[in-house]
Amino acid sequence: MAAEGKTRRIYLDNAATSWPKPEAVYRAVEHVLRELGAPAGRSAYAEAVEVERLVSSARRRAAELLGAANPRHIIFAANGTDALNLALWGLARPGDHFVTSVVEHNSVLRPLAEMEARLGVSVTRVDCDDRGVVDPADVRAAMRPNTRAVAIVHAANVTGAIQPVAEIGRLAHEAGALVVVDAAQTAGDLPLDVDRLGADLLAAPGHKGLLGPLGTGILYIRPGVESHLQTLRQGGTGTKSQSDRQPEELPERFECGNLNVPGIVGLGAGIDYLLTHGVSEVRRHAEFLCGLLLSELAEIPGVRVFGPADAADRVGLVSFTVPGYDPQEVAALLDTQSRIAVRAGLHCAPLCHRRLGTIEQGGTVRASFGPFNTSDDVEALAAAVVGLAEAGV
């Protein structure tokens, strides 16, 4: 309950990080910090054994959520960006070619640009349509004999558009390329199956749809693909310590140094929540709220909405602009006047905004939903936008 005299904060920035978390996440993190206080995979006393059990459980639950058969092919990373770097830099060799799209986040765009500069790889960035959807045929046309991989976001973080990843994956495999999927906006928000998606590598942050703490992420590696991946970091694993070479086994090959145990155990609790309540139910709820907001914004003169018109074709986020304001002004006014938290700007996706024609105005305003948002939150946002639009005329 909000304190007396204070307006309740309406949090609509779940595409950046989910909040609030399930209570079990807070309890799990506190339990590790206050009661266990041990590293993973380093000792044999009771608390360390319990930590290892909890980390292994989080790994198993993450594999279950993604439809991955072997939990050891789930690698814990520092965040989604870290996981994507492990995948992209791990694959890249001088002279390689990569295909990606204009709807990608900088977590893909910047590593690929750096590879162009450092390694001499070449990158093709395919276009999208006005809804922000990539055509698989364009991806296929961009393929070359030396294409190492296609890097594609599962759902765009600006438009919310769900990409045809399974079809893109099929075409990429036919051409002999691997598929790297950025599931930052879909892990925990859409039911996922890595095999059906055709994902050879799939990266996701732990703190968004997976409902875990910041500073967590996962990378799924399809069995056999690890042989194509170079390690970016080397160090202690608690195993094969007599050797000065990184172990070949997973997950130790790609996990070195102490794991973020509080974060990983908290992430495990977030995934437990999703598996218990059902990702399909989370999806249904987000689609309902998204459809409601799309309907409300369509009634406000001058407001422009980006992305697919049907909520079924997007994840639970909506980007829009309000006439008479730049996006940062809208976000600031929503916060100060109505205590509504949204994200404004370029959303770390400059090519997408350039394609949409919104880069010069500073991007868009983005509202994004989580499991704990309600229709009242949507109605409050719509009413606040109506007020701004009328005042800006």
Catalytic residue IDs: 348
Task: Give SS3 for 262.
Answer: helix
Contact 231, 254 (CB under 8 A): yes
Task: Give a three-class secondary structure readout of 330-392.
Answer: HHHHHHHHHCEECEEECCCCHHHHHHHCCCCCCCEEEEECCCCCCHHHHHHHHHHHHHHHHHH
Measured CA to CA, the distance from residue 45 to residue 34 in angstroms comes to 16
Taking the C-alpha atoms of residue 266 and residue 214, their distance in angstroms, rounded to an integer, is 10
> What DSSP assignment string belongs to 172-218?
HHHTT-EEEEE-TTTBTTB---HHHHT-SEEEEESSSTT---SS-EE
Q: Is 61 exposed, middle or buried (0-12, 13-18, 19+ CB in 10 A)?
A: buried
Three-class SS of residue 270?
Answer: helix
Q: DSSP letters along 43-92, please?
A: --SHHHHHHHHHHHHHHHHHHHHHT-S-GGGEEEESSHHHHHHHHHHHH-
**CB 333 within 8 Å of CB 342:** no
**CA gap 346, 365 in Å, rounded:** 9
